[in-house]
Amino acid sequence: MIRPATDEDWASIYPFFSSIVAAGETYAYPDGMSIDEARPWWMEAPPGRTVVAVDRDAIVGSAKMGPNRPGRGSHVATGSFMVDPRYHGRGVGRALCTDLIDWSERAGYRTIQFNAVVESNRAAVHLWQSLGFRILTTVPEAFDHRTDGLVGMHVMHLPLSGPASRGP
Amino acid sequence: MIRPATDEDWASIYPFFSSIVAAGETYAYPDGMSIDEARPWWMEAPPGRTVVAVDRDAIVGSAKMGPNRPGRGSHVATGSFMVDPRYHGRGVGRALCTDLIDWSERAGYRTIQFNAVVESNRAAVHLWQSLGFRILTTVPEAFDHRTDGLVGMHVMHLPLSGPASRGP
């Protein structure tokens, strides 16, 4: 089940947010942020949105989404995903990304762009591809992976079939 | 002449910054920002840096630069450029981009990435190419150009030959 995140949810998101950042394999966030420092990096205000994936009473993942750029770039959505490592392999990432796609279509975005998908994060790359995303390019050596060293980051892209482009 | 910007310079940068944003041809910034609202969008604090191009006593252009991403992406620099339209065609953009390249090498960055170069801004695209940048991809319809409608945005990239990669 995916629902919008509340302020109270941040205390449940931060533990896996911080462990994923510390693992150094998937995201370029500042290192070692406290729970208060990290909050604005993940908890989005409108027109953006942060959601949580809930399994029974546990928050098992989270996504943030919104315009990729302001102004004349604001018809392009983007998103980021964190799944609690204890809940990998259960479809949480797929559910979160499907929610991003549905929300972006409803909100009238024309495309979704991921700016920085670490190429060695193959499970995520394959998942986004299975949902229709295409790799536009791989920026060489753009991510300093904790164990693999410098690896590329994919720019990934999904055109949406929103109301404006649907036929009569 | 290129020099670091001071707080006092912002009053001289803002008029061409705001007219370039309002023209709607090159940058995705929020529309209609006041001088105080726009300031944090252009005036960078360390580890970033904002510079001005000075011709006699006039500020004729400005650039901002810094890490493209925090943390494990912070070895990649990025930059943005604004040239007062009254001073186009005089090499100001070239001088500013050369300064970015020199600064990025000195500061130890490994590459420079431009994330969002509007493809119809051909003078700028050719200028960056003449300085060694390569187009990695063009994200389709990513910019809502005021007169041309939806146009692509290039991701452009320059490897640097910094101290770490120089031979003996």
Q: Is B72 on the interface with A (CB under 8 A)?
A: yes
**B89: distance to nearest CA of chain A, Å?**
25
Give the DSSP H/E element, type plus range, for residue B146.
Answer: none
A contacts of B162 (beta carbons < 8 Å) = none
B contacts of A159 (beta carbons < 8 Å) = 140
B contacts of A30 (beta carbons < 8 Å) = 70-71
The model's pLDDT over A33-63, given as tens digits with 9 standing for 90+, comes to 999 999 999 999 999 999 999 999 999 999 9
CA atoms within 13 A on the CB side of A38: 22
**A141: distance to nearest CA of chain B, Å?**
9
Quickly state the pLDDT bin for A163 (edges 50, 70, 90).
Answer: low
- Give the pLDDT of residue A4: 98
H-helix segments, chain B: 10-23, 35-42, 92-106, 122-130
Give the chain B residue whose CA is nearest to the CA of A146.
Answer: B72
> Which among B28, B69, B115 has CB closest to A71?
B28
B contacts of A116 (beta carbons < 8 Å) = 69, 73
Of B11-15, B21-25, B163-167, give the lowest mean pLDDT range: B163-167
Q: Is A137 on the interface with B (CB under 8 A)?
A: yes
What residue has token string 């979160």?
A96
**A91: distance to nearest CA of chain B, Å?**
27
**Complex ipTM above 0.85?**
yes
Q: Does the pLDDT at position A7 exceed 80?
A: yes
The model's pLDDT over A89-138, given as tens digits with 9 standing for 90+, comes to 999 999 999 999 999 999 999 999 999 999 999 999 999 999 999 999 99
- Give the pLDDT of residue B117: 98
- Give the pLDDT of residue A168: 36
Q: Does the pLDDT at position B166 exceed 50?
A: no
Quickly state the pLDDT bin for A161 (edges 50, 70, 90).
Answer: confident
Q: pTM, whole model, 2 decimals?
A: 0.94
Mean pLDDT of B77-103: 97
The model's pLDDT over B108-145, given as tens digits with 9 standing for 90+, comes to 999 999 999 999 999 999 999 999 999 999 999 999 99
Q: Does the pLDDT at position B163 exceed 70?
A: no
> Beta strands B58-67 and A49-55: pairing type?
unpaired
Main-chain dihedrals φ then ψ at residue B71, nearest 5 degrees: 55, -125
What residue has token string 């670091």?
B4
- Give the pLDDT of residue B164: 47
DSSP-derived secondary structure for A76-112: EEEEEEEE-GGGTTSSHHHHHHHHHHHHHHHTT-SEE
DSSP single-letter state for residue B110: S
B contacts of A76 (beta carbons < 8 Å) = 139, 142
**B1: distance to nearest CA of chain A, Å?**
31
**A125: distance to nearest CA of chain B, Å?**
18
Rounded to whole angstroms, how far apart are CA atoms A100 and A66? Answer: 9
Other Cβ atoms within 10 Å of B26 Cβ, number: 21
Question: CA dist B85 to A56, A94, A141, B73, B97, Å?
Answer: 59, 47, 36, 33, 17
Amino acid at A8: E
Main-chain dihedrals φ then ψ at residue A25, nearest 5 degrees: -115, -15
Q: Is B139 on the interface with A (CB under 8 A)?
A: yes
The model's pLDDT over B37-84, given as tens digits with 9 standing for 90+, comes to 999 999 999 999 999 999 999 999 999 999 999 999 999 999 999 999
Rounded to whole angstroms, how far apart are CA atoms B118 and B89? Answer: 18
Q: Given an 8 Å threshold on Cβ–Cβ distance, is A29 in contact with B116?
A: no
- Give the pLDDT of residue B105: 97
Question: CA dist A131 to A27, A99, A122, A157, B106, Å?
Answer: 21, 11, 14, 11, 42
